[in-house]
Amino acid sequence: MGGEAKKLPRIDFSEVDPSAPGGQAWGTARGEVMDALATFGCFEAHYPALAPRLRAELFEGAVRPLFALSADAKRRNCYGADRPFHGYLGDVPGFPGYESLAIVDGTKDESVRGFARLMWPDGGDNSDSFCGTVVEAAQRIFQLEEAVRRMVMEGLGVAKHHDALSASMWHLFRMSEYKAPNAAEKVVRYGAHQDTNWLSVVCQHEVAGLEMQSRGGEWIVVQPSPTSLVFMVGNELRVPTLAVDAS
C-alpha cells in the first residue's frame, strides 16, 4: 500500500441542497457521482455543511473523551450476541491497535442518549455534550448520504424505489481509534476489505489513515480535509462481473 500519485475524484456539494432534489447543481453533482462510482467506486465529497467547528467538537469534545473511558465501560456498547459487529470492537485478533464503538440509528436523539447512558451512567457534562454533538454531526452526514443515494437511484433509472428503500434502511454511526505506531513507519491497523453495506461515509481526523485501491490496483492515500467526506460503494451496490469460458 501507499501510492500518493493519484487522488480520488472530488465532487463539490456546496451548492447542492440535500433536501431539495433537482436543479442544475443537483444534476451536475449526480453526473459526477455516477461517473466517480463507476470508475473508482468512491469519491471525496466537499461538504462545508459539516463545518470545521462541528468536526472539532465531534472529535475533540465527543470522541476523544469516549475512548478515554475504561475498557469495561466501552464493552457495555453491545447489541446482543446475534449482532457482534454492531457495538464495541477491541482487542480483535489480526487488528492490533484498533478500537471502535458504534450507535445503531445514530441520527436519532433517543438512540444516542441510550448509548450515552451506557457510557456515563451517572450523567454529567460529558454525556450531555456528547449527545448534542453526535446527533448534529450524524444528521448532517446522513443528509448528504441520502442525497447521494437518491442521485444513484436516479442515475440508475429506479428513482421511484427511493422512498421504499430508505424506509427499509438503518444506519450505523461508528467511531474508531487507531493507535499510532511507536516508530516512524507505516503500520496497517485495519487490513484491506470491502464493506458489505450500500454506502460507507468516512470522516477522517487530521491523520491520513485511509487508503483506497483503484481499479488498476494502485493504492491511493486519502488526505484528510476539514470540509470533506469520503464516500465508498459497499457490496450491496456492486454489480458482479460474470465471465463465460467459451473454450
Could you tell me the pLDDT band of residue 124, with boundaries at 50, 70 and 90?
A: low
Three-state secondary-structure class, residue 246 = coil
Mean pLDDT of the residues in the chain? 83
β 228-233/89-90 pair status: unpaired
pLDDT at 212: 78
DSSP symbol at 95: -
Quote the CA–CA distance of 163 and 91 in Å, as a whole number. Answer: 39
3-30 pLDDT per residue, tens? 444 788 999 999 999 989 999 999 999 9
162-210 pLDDT per residue, tens? 888 788 778 899 998 887 666 566 666 555 666 656 688 988 886 766 7
The answer for residues whose C-beta is within 8 angstroms of residue 190's C-beta and 6 or more apart is: 95, 98, 176, 178
pLDDT at 135: 95
pLDDT at 243: 43
pLDDT at 2: 45
| Rounded (to 5) percent helix, strand, coil in the chain | 35, 15, 45
| Exposure string for 93-120, b = 16+ CB within 10 A, e = fewer | eebeebbbbbbbebbbeebbeebbebbb
Burial class (CB in 10 A: 0-12, 13-18, 19+), 162: middle
User: Is CATH 3.30.390.30 the classification given to domain 10-237?
Assistant: no
Lowest mean pLDDT among 8-12, 209-213, 227-231: 209-213
Lowest mean pLDDT among 37-41, 75-79, 136-140, 152-156: 37-41
Residue with the bigger pLDDT between 121 and 213: it is: 121
The answer for residues whose C-beta is within 8 angstroms of residue 84's C-beta and 6 or more apart is: none
Domain coordinates in residue numbering, the chain: 10-237
pLDDT at 58: 95
pTM of the complete model:
0.82
DSSP symbol at 24: H
pLDDT at 247: 38
The answer for residues whose C-beta is within 8 angstroms of residue 240's C-beta and 6 or more apart is: none
Could you tell me the pLDDT band of residue 103, with boundaries at 50, 70 and 90?
A: very high
DSSP symbol at 239: P
